[in-house]
Structure 1
Amino acid sequence: MEALDHMNLASDKNFTKLLMPGENLLMTLKVIKFNKRNKAQERTVAITSTGVLNLKNKKIQRRIELTSIGGITRSRNGEEFILHCPNEYDYRFSSPLKDQAVQTITRAFRELSGRGLLIWETNELNLKDLATTKSDKKKGVTRMPASETAVNYQSISGNGEESKENRDRRSRTIFRASNNSGEVSMNDFTILKVIGRGSFGKVMLVQKKDTKEVYAMKSLRKDALLEREQVEHTRTEKLIMQHTNHPFIVKLEYAFTSPDKIYFVMEYMRGGELFFHLKEAKKLAEDRARFYAAEIALALGHLHQQNIVYRDLKPENILMDDLGNVHLTDFGMAKMLGEGGTTQSFVGTPEYLAPEIIACSGHGVTADWWSYGILLYEMLVGIPPFYNQNIQLMYELIQHGDLRFPQRNPLSPAAQDIITKLLEREPRRRLGANGVDEIKSHQFFEGTDWNLLEQKRLPTPFTPKITNQLSTENFDEEFTSEEPVNSVVPEHRLKLVMQNQDQFRDF
């Protein structure tokens, strides 16, 4: 495992002599550690092949043995994470490198113990109430969640395979593309890899047994959809995907349900997420960003013509095909509106939210053009324009902050102009308010042959590395290293689904 030595401690002899014989340094990073009084303390953490070291002035304040960690809770939306240590108390940290740290700890734990480490996720930003303190421990209180609520519980508990065949036999096909035939169920597919994970399930690379065709399969747990009131959103997602046919939107091939899950089988984009490539490149050259922005504009324009507002435009939801063309995916936040209609829902990803969504003043399809402006800025600069670790402050900046462009390596006047007009806070004056043609005719896209682009006949600025048809090298190892199994929903959770099965009847 390559060391992520952000604090350059590997070359510090005073530090390395503190390591145990055979102990390898895997990662170092700055963190905020919260003590028993919830006071924030700056610390350095070193993750090794056997432990997590809490350092102060390069001296070990505390050694947390990997084998003492019972699991990790991490915030989906913030930077905090907790190391649950059942035999003592929990350690709560905050760091912008949270995901890298958690990934490094889980890999080291697996290599050391041969077992997976339980991971819990929460939407909470402040995890204070989720950490077991010293005083809790004295009272016999633990705040570590139940094992079966971990997002990876089934894949590491040995119960990952679908053991109840009768569930599969009760599968029902609810959509198939016109070129596909026959009923499908999980028995028709071989799971090859995990390539993504969300709040309600995961995305897997699968192969259809009879045709050997490779697809991306999104599985959604019905119990999670019910608990978080996402059934209607999922129904809308299916309807939009099955009725949408566009060269830059991921195509739905099949959809089917089982008693405990809903499955969407989609074309597989071997090039991976734009997020993956943007992370590698840091920022994109203007010609490359222009090419992706043009394809995304055509996809959004197509949705808007059908009065669909997408509402979750971000690099993670943009996938790349073998040639390097980009496609929109994940319509879980999308909504079908009436002609010129608006909606009041507060949905989306914080960095990309339009001001009118934050203000709950009603929004329509023009909210997508704001997110599009944020995305274009991020592709060219490397970070969203109003990003802040404090989400409330970020919302304030989105609504009232000044739009600033980098002084070093400045963007072209055309790029600055289109971004400025897209990030107009008054939706009616925002570029795109009168349709996608406003975007296409802007000078930033001067010289773009939109017909050839839509036919995918223009050369792409970047071709992803793809070694074979089953390639997953353009997806994050955090996912592809997971054991590829289709988990079983526990019986006590299945009862919740059975009691509310009528909500899924018209899928």
Structure 2
Amino acid sequence: MESHDYMSLGGDKAFTKHISPGETLLMSFKVIKFNKRNKAQERTIALTTAGILNLKGKKLQRRMEYEILSGITRSRNGDEFILHCATEYDYRFSSPLKDQAIQTMSKAFRDITGRTLYLWETNEINLKDLTTTKNDKKKGVSRIPAPENAVNFRNNNIGQEESKDTRGKRSRTIFAAQDNSTSVTLDDFTILKVLGRGSFGKVMLVQKKDNQKLYAMKSLRKDALLEREQVEHTRTEKLILEHINHPFLVRLEYAFTNPAKIYFVMEFMKGGELFFHLKEARKFSEDRARFYGAQIGLGLAHLHEQNIVYRDLKPENIIMDEFGNVYLTDFGMAKFLPEGGSTQSFVGTPEYLAPEVIACQGHNGTADWWSFGVLLYEMMVGIPPFYNQNVQLMYELIQHGDLRFPQRTPLSQPAQDIITRLLDRDPTRRLGARSFDDIKNHAFFASINWDLLLQKKLPTPFTPRITNVLSAENFDTEFTSEEAINSVVPEHRLRMVMQNQEQFNDF
């Protein structure tokens, strides 16, 4: 389907993080949204192959999957239209592009469900009285027109089964920690909040129904993994999560799969992402950066001892518990690498890539220590050392640019020295290339008692504010404001998974 991206969202990183891999933008356009008080609000609507996104500026206000739509009412004589949702209240908009938008939504709805989206028409210009509001819903009132009054009623496949996400009995447990029961399905959890979006799905706050414990559940769509040839990476991620056991690495509690998705259920860290706290503080004191760096350094070193390279170190992949300790999470880019081996893969986050990764010269665990140097710099300065909005220019700077430290608020000599030695472009000379002991023994970490740190007996430099654990207040509101649902995989995508199910047999 042709894209009509009138708001130029396709190349905007702030927008693309709201959509899943394999999801394509079909149309973006400005609308007037009418709230429950009938107040007009400017919004942007993005229509993708999977759903409808309601944006205020660049912030996601609401995401709706096409499957929850009951139909659309449009005015013949004006620009207003209503999205009817049987399971909740309606959404009323106005846009001169309404006809094109309705055509786009109708096509996407049919592609996903195999059914025709009901369309009702009216001569009314103002559709307020045809809209089911929140208050109506509370009173049990619905203003959705009867299906037989839809202009396209006869086009619908009345008897056709609706698209469903396969779950329940067809789920299969593939891992449970020793002290946990050995069989779980999606039905054992209540989904509470969206915490973030990973490369191939989303991370949600869930509560186990039998013991009320909170967990972070990462769901991975098999169709997206197949499409981007990431099945092997996900298999590796599962193996790594099963085998690691360290105070500063997030622990896997359960893993299970169904025909549509793979689920990793991990301990929930109430303090949120380090990125969230760094954004709020702009930069950390040296003492605070030293504490976080020491804990993450121990976690990375443990991975290297297990012949695992992490390859995606960044503040977004570091999470904090309620006491202020930090942990590495998201092992989707990690890789088993034999001692003395190297890998040619071009993976990671641009700001944190080591020069040898960019040059495709082959890399090993020392690339993680380059990223560790970038992390220390960003925590203390507030921006990565070679950052540039032009990614190609940033790659040039990473490979050849001068390392500069701020003059107005200079870092201490030990801080500058450890960063300089970690950001050595020769991986064989880079600090940490021989042993993590070289990093531990550096003057910058002289005040750290490593034994007490490993036991989590050192006082943390910061305690996150937690007033209501269920609100996930230390996570980005761009995600937590999304509707918390286990999204349905379209039938045609599910058929593609079933045709390639053998690739998931050994999960």
Is the CA contact (8 Å cut-off) linking 1:309 and 1:364 kept in structure 2?
yes
Aligned to 1:225: 225
Is the CA contact (8 Å cut-off) linking 2:53 and 2:62 kept in structure 1?
no
Using a 3 Å threshold, how does the CA distance of structure 1 residues 72 and 374 change in structure 2: closer, same or farther?
farther
Aligned residues: 394
Q: Kindly, what percent of the aligned residue pairs are identical?
A: 69
Is the CA contact (8 Å cut-off) linking 1:221 and 1:261 kept in structure 2?
yes
Aligned to 2:350: 350
Using a 3 Å threshold, how does the CA distance of structure 1 residues 484 and 445 change in structure 2: closer, same or farther?
same
What is the identity, as a one-letter code, of the residue corresponding to 1:300?
L
Aligned to 2:180: 180
Partner deviation per Cα, 1:96-146 (whole Å, 9 max, x = no partner): xxx983216769xxxx987689xxxxxxxxxxxxxxxx9xx9xxx989994
User: How far apart in 1 are the matches of 2:376 and 2:274?
Assistant: 12
> Would you say 1:424 and 2:424 are equivalent positions?
yes
> Would you say 1:280 and 2:302 are equivalent positions?
no
Stretches of 4+ moved more than 2 A in 1? 47-51, 64-67, 104-107, 112-117, 141-150, 162-168, 468-471
Is the CA contact (8 Å cut-off) linking 2:194 and 2:480 kept in structure 1?
yes
Per-residue deviation at 1:479? 0.9
Aligned to 2:117: none
Per-residue deviation at 1:387? 0.5
Aligned to 1:248: 248
Per-residue deviation at 1:341? 1.1
**For the pair shown, which has the larger CA radius of gyration, 1 or 2?**
2
User: How far apart in 2 are the matches of 1:193 and 1:431?
Assistant: 40
Using a 3 Å threshold, how does the CA distance of structure 1 residues 145 and 182 change in structure 2: closer, same or farther?
same
User: How far apart in 2 are the matches of 1:397 and 1:144?
Assistant: 47
What is the identity, as a one-letter code, of the residue corresponding to 1:428?
T
Aligned to 1:324: 324
Is the CA contact (8 Å cut-off) linking 1:84 and 1:144 kept in structure 2?
no
RMSD: 3.2
Aligned to 1:485: 485
Q: SS state of the match for residue 356, structure 1? A: helix
User: How far apart in 2 are the matches of 1:265 and 1:436?
Assistant: 30
User: How far apart in 2 are the matches of 1:480 and 1:252?
Assistant: 22
Per-residue deviation at 1:49? 10
User: How far apart in 2 are the matches of 1:240 and 1:260?
Assistant: 22
> Would you say 1:71 and 2:18 are equivalent positions?
no
Q: SS state of the match for residue 427, structure 1? A: coil
Per-residue deviation at 1:307? 1.0
Is the CA contact (8 Å cut-off) linking 1:270 and 1:471 kept in structure 2?
no
Aligned to 1:39: none
User: How far apart in 2 are the matches of 1:164 and 1:207?
Assistant: 23
What is the identity, as a one-letter code, of the residue corresponding to 2:341?
G
User: How far apart in 2 are the matches of 1:467 and 1:390?
Assistant: 40
Is the CA contact (8 Å cut-off) linking 1:106 and 1:116 kept in structure 2?
no
Per-residue deviation at 1:50? 4.3
Using a 3 Å threshold, how does the CA distance of structure 1 residues 165 and 232 change in structure 2: closer, same or farther?
closer
User: How far apart in 1 are the matches of 2:339 and 2:278?
Assistant: 36
Using a 3 Å threshold, how does the CA distance of structure 1 residues 203 and 166 change in structure 2: closer, same or farther?
closer
Partner deviation per Cα, 1:151-201 (whole Å, 9 max, x = no partner): xxxxxxxxxxx9748632111100011111230000111111111112311
What is the identity, as a one-letter code, of the residue corresponding to 1:466?
I
Per-residue deviation at 1:467? 1.7
Aligned to 1:453: 453
Aligned to 1:472: 472
Aligned to 1:382: 382
Per-residue deviation at 1:435? 1.6
Per-residue deviation at 1:468? 3.7
Per-residue deviation at 1:374? 0.4
Partner deviation per Cα, 1:242-277 (whole Å, 9 max, x = no partner): 100000000000000000000000000000000000
Using a 3 Å threshold, how does the CA distance of structure 1 residues 372 and 177 change in structure 2: closer, same or farther?
same
Is the CA contact (8 Å cut-off) linking 2:192 and 2:206 kept in structure 1?
yes
User: How far apart in 1 are the matches of 2:274 and 2:371?
Assistant: 15
Per-residue deviation at 1:465? 0.7
Aligned to 2:145: none
Aligned to 1:315: 315
User: How far apart in 1 are the matches of 2:296 and 2:107?
Assistant: 41
User: How far apart in 2 are the matches of 1:442 and 1:144?
Assistant: 62
Aligned to 1:216: 216
Q: SS state of the match for residue 394, structure 1? A: helix
User: How far apart in 1 are the matches of 2:188 and 2:232?
Assistant: 27
What is the identity, as a one-letter code, of the residue corresponding to 2:244?
T
Q: SS state of the match for residue 219, structure 1? A: strand
1:101-112 to structure 2, matched below 5 A, reads 101-103=57-59
Using a 3 Å threshold, how does the CA distance of structure 1 residues 490 and 414 change in structure 2: closer, same or farther?
same
Partner deviation per Cα, 1:287-308 (whole Å, 9 max, x = no partner): 0000000000000000000111
Is the CA contact (8 Å cut-off) linking 2:172 and 2:258 kept in structure 1?
yes
User: How far apart in 2 are the matches of 1:149 and 1:277?
Assistant: 41
User: How far apart in 1 are the matches of 2:498 and 2:373?
Assistant: 44
Aligned to 2:396: 396
Using a 3 Å threshold, how does the CA distance of structure 1 residues 84 and 172 change in structure 2: closer, same or farther?
closer
Aligned to 2:463: 463
User: How far apart in 2 are the matches of 1:105 and 1:255?
Assistant: 31
User: How far apart in 1 are the matches of 2:60 and 2:227?
Assistant: 31
Using a 3 Å threshold, how does the CA distance of structure 1 residues 379 and 48 change in structure 2: closer, same or farther?
farther
Is the CA contact (8 Å cut-off) linking 1:167 and 1:258 kept in structure 2?
yes
